[in-house]
Structure 1
Amino acid sequence: MSDKNKIQLSKEKREDMISAIKNYFCDERDEELGDLASGKILDFIIDELATEFYNQGIYDSYNYMNRSIDDLLSIQKY
């Protein structure tokens, strides 16, 4: 993903996500990660996986809009 298309996070949101990663590893794997390691995992997710999530959101929105248009057409008066 090029830098101009890369997901941009506010400092606060990035800190929240790093904290969530640290908590997950602590709770689920009984491993303690530092900020650096958690930040690297977050960067990996953004760089390598986020596009798939984004594209799925676009696809879901497209399907929702198509269903909504079909519903709108059903209220036509003749």
Structure 2
Amino acid sequence: MTIEISKEARAEAVASIERYFRENMEEPIGNVTAGALLGYFIEEIGPLIYNRAVLDVQERLQKQVGDLDIEVNEDPFQYWRKFDKARKGK
């Protein structure tokens, strides 16, 4: 699965890379080079982050599904119990 980002997000990411190089590296980086670096990171490291996020979501969903029986459980045969409780209260 190819990871893609919107044009707006890509432009912001490229600007962020350029700023990072300007403020933290000895040499600035150009727009084209920053775009290529971003493409490299998305293709090379993006799947690692994406897969971790998918695992996190799966774990959370499995826990929520596991809790369903507790959250939505209804005890059967409750009709007569409400009458029995009312009679004991008299």
What TM-score range do you get, normalising by the shorter chain?
0.7 to 0.9
Q: Alignment partner for residue 65 of structure 1, among 47, 61, 65?
A: 61
- How far the C-alpha of 1:30 sits from its partner, in A, is 4.9
Q: Which moved more, 1:60-69 or 1:7-16?
A: 7-16
Q: Does the CA contact (< 8 Å) of 1:26 and 1:32 recur in 2?
A: yes
- Of the three residues 42, 46, 50, the one matched with 1:54 is 50
Match of residue 30, structure 2, among 29, 34, 46: 34
Distance in 2 separating the partners of 1:28 and 1:65: 40
Question: How far 1:66 sits from its partner (Å)?
Answer: 1.0
Please tell me the residue identity of whatever aligns with 1:77.
E
Any unmatched runs of 5+ in structure 2? 76-90
Give the superposition deviation at 1:23.
Answer: 1.7
Equivalenced residue count is 74
The structure showing larger relative contact order (alpha-carbon pairs under 8 Å, at least 6 residues apart) is 1
Letter in structure 1 aligned against 2:28:
E
Output the TM-score relative to the length of structure 1: 0.78
Aligned-pair identity in percent equals 26
Structure 1: which 5+ residue stretches go unaligned?
Answer: none
